Amino acid sequence: MPRHADYIPHGVIPACILPFDDDFAIDEQAFRQHLRDVVAVPGLSAITVNAHSTEVASCSFDEQRRVLAIAGDEVGDKLPIINGVYAEGSLEAARIARMAQDGGASALLVFPPGPFALGQRSAMVIDHFRRIADVSDLPLIAFQYPLRSGQGYPLDTLLQLVAAVPTVRAIKDWTPNVPLHERQIRTLQTLDPPVNVLSTNSAWLMSSLVLGCKGLLSGSGSVIANLQARLWRAVQDNDLAEARRLNDSIWPLAEAFYADPFVDMHNRMKEALVLLGRQIRAVVRPPLVKLGASEIARLKVALIAAGLLQPGTRDAA
């Protein structure tokens, strides 16, 4: 699988979903179709696999390697592939990073280790990323969680990190605090070299992009990559009227996808793909459970409001 040399994460990057059979095995045929659907959207700069959207927490190391291999088969040299590094410990994170580099990924999305939820020091953060950088020269994207989770990095820690590990070239910013989000954009993107801020605030995406993010990385791109790419282009062109019009289409789905409980966001995206006829089933792995009929009906209403589904469309079986 070819790597994209000198790739710096930017632009519109959908995070793909991972279909499963009724027995919870990876549905490779459905995954290949999903990848083809996403990659066909104009205006994308990369795709992401082995992340929250692919239910990476429930996937074994071998399954993650297979997911990356399938993505390489289907995407080829059309777009760079970003591979998630999701692990509780730094040694396992380094093993995943080495696998992803060997498998042809162009960048790595580094999740914070679970123990950081109990507290962290900047030295721990730097050591975690150094262990990954020691086995891979790929550009790294630090997944910036909300600070209240305990897994988010204070801005001072981020600055120490990018100074100590120069392959950190972007953050995926999940900061819900708007002033902090803007401060990170202004601070990180004016460094030398700059560290790009990729928004993952999909519940308020237009507002986030207008603040100056260099891109977006979002699971909802598995459903609405076209709307996201057009919104991104409108913001870059300073076309506020077009951006607001597109945001009016995105808004009903953002409300539906990111409702409580938040953990069901990608579950809802799978159901949306079934309603749209792009997938045949919406199986999630435990502890997630299938959505009830009333919530699927609400998703259908949101898809109609977004202009993606015609009223009167028969419900999927």
Whether the link from the prior residue into 193 is cis, omega within 30° of 0, is: yes
φ/ψ region of 212 (left if φ > 0, alpha if ψ in -120 to 50, else beta) reads left
Give the model's pLDDT for residue 312: 74
Percentage of the chain lying above the pLDDT 90 cut: 95
Average pLDDT over every residue of 97-104 = 97
Give the model's pLDDT for residue 179: 98
**Exposed, middle or buried, 292 (CB in 10 Å: 0-12/13-18/19+)?**
exposed
Q: Is 1 a residue whose pLDDT tops 90?
A: no
> pTM of the predicted model, to two decimals?
0.96
- pLDDT tens for each residue of 221-264: 999 999 999 999 999 999 999 999 999 999 999 999 999 999 99
Q: Could you give all domains of the chain from N- to C-terminal order, each with its CATH number?
A: 11-237 (3.20.20.70)
Task: State the chain's mean pLDDT as an integer.
Answer: 96
Average pLDDT over every residue of 90-105 = 98
Q: Is 6 a residue whose pLDDT tops 90?
A: no
Give the model's pLDDT for residue 5: 60
Q: Is 282 a residue whose pLDDT tops 90?
A: yes
Contact call for residues 97 and 140 (beta carbons, < 8 A): no
Q: Residue 109: CB partners within 8 Å, gap ≥ 6?
A: 48, 51, 82, 83, 84, 85, 141, 143, 172, 217
- pLDDT tens for each residue of 36-71: 999 999 999 999 999 999 999 999 999 999 999 999
Give the model's pLDDT for residue 317: 37
